[in-house]
Amino acid sequence: MDTNTKYLGLEIKSPIIAGSCGLTNDISKLEQLEAAGAGAVIIKSVFEEQIIYDIKRNLSMMAPTDNYGMSYEYIASHVADDSLGKHFELIKEAKKRLHIPVVGSINCYSFENWMTYTQRFQDAGCDALELNMAILPYETTLSCEDVDRLFSDIINTLRKSVSIPISIKVSQNFTDMANFMQRLSWMNVNGITMFNKALNVDVDTDKMELTHAPSLSSPDEIYNTLRWVAILSKKLRCDISASTGVHTADDVVKMLLAGAGTVQVVSCLYKNGVEYMRTLNDGLRDWMNKKGYESIEQFRGKLAAKANEQSSMLYRTQFMKHFAQI
């Protein structure tokens, strides 16, 4: 029996991938993840805000009399090089030491910087790139059409300038989720990661101020991801990498049955340590053994909605069975 599969066209030994987070920002953790059977690792994202912050900090350290007006471009590009340089050193080191695919991750908010930084990830030697396009429709001025245009402009332009496989990591908030995911999959991307987990806001009632809710996912967050993977896996033209709420080997199996190509894990690694990657892989093999499966392809997508199935009817039936006991 083997758990070999493909991720963004790359051969991998396990469908379980370490998702982008603080744990994938450290070479010794990356090595431990590989030793524990991770199929691939997605390095912690570079956020455009981080680079801009470094640029501003450097400019503020200059004497107020310094005239940096003319040299702003030069300083900004030097600082950006320095910030990204440290990140690229990690990618280069990971490529030297690991045998599994090393995937870069980037999150920008300005169109120009998506272009500038993405090309440099390719030059740094990443096997593939996950674009963390967690664009949330927070602004009342932002319409569905605006979000649509932003995605297609970025993807179409990047696709022309980068030849390595690209995956788009999306948030859970779209009015036309199924339709939009299908259109994304037609845009010549190699995969879609469903979903990024937005940091939730909470309120401290004592201090009467806004704070943030726990950043780790809880196990019941799997259901939203599972629903969309099952509905869409046979309707998209690219692979789905399932993310958010996967905490056990049984969860990994559920996602594969729903049709995910690969399954990303983060919170369960924070909770149980990176060695937990081994427990997940052992659990997947135990389940396959128990069910008599020799390969992932023998059971992947068995419980996915069919390509021509009307998902709304399917879910309406489930709903009626449960709540109306029909």
Ligand X SMILES: Cc1cc2nc3c(=O)[nH]c(=O)nc-3n(C[C@H](O)[C@H](O)[C@H](O)COP(=O)(O)O)c2cc1C
In angstroms, the CA 282 to CA 173 distance is 34
Among 101, 245, 259, 261, binds ligand X (CB under 6 A): 245
What residues contact 72, with CB distance under 8 A and at least 6 apart? Answer: 59
**N- to C-terminal Cα separation, the chain:** 41
In angstroms, the CA 247 to CA 322 distance is 26
**Residues in 43-102 that interact with ligand X by CB under 6 A:** 44-45
CB of 258 to ligand X, least distance (A): 16
**Under rule CB under 6 A, residue 216 binds ligand X:** yes
**Residues in 144-163 that interact with ligand X by CB under 6 A:** none
The number of helices, as runs of H, and strands, as runs of E, in the chain is 11, 13
Nearest to 216 by CA among 250, 279, 251, 266: 266
Among 20, 167, 185, 281, binds ligand X (CB under 6 A): 20
CB of 105 to ligand X, least distance (A): 5
CB of 264 to ligand X, least distance (A): 6
Indicate the residue among 50 and 122 with the shorter CB distance to ligand X.
50
User: Residues, the chain, total?
Assistant: 326
In the structure encoding, which two tokens stand for residue 93, read together?
């080191």
**Residues in 247-286 that interact with ligand X by CB under 6 A:** 265-267
Among 21, 102, 147, 242, binds ligand X (CB under 6 A): 21
Size of the site for ligand X (CB under 6 A): 21
Among 32, 118, 185, 244, binds ligand X (CB under 6 A): 244
**Under rule CB under 6 A, residue 196 binds ligand X:** yes
What residue ranges in 189-234 does DSSP mark as E strands? 191-194, 201-204, 209-212
**Under rule CB under 6 A, residue 246 binds ligand X:** yes
Q: Decide if 165 contacts 128 (C-beta within 8 A).
A: yes
Between vectors from CA 90 to CA 84 and to CA 96, what angle results, nearest 5°?
Answer: 135
Residues that bind ligand X (CB under 6 A): 19-22, 44-45, 105, 132, 169, 196-197, 215-217, 243-246, 265-267
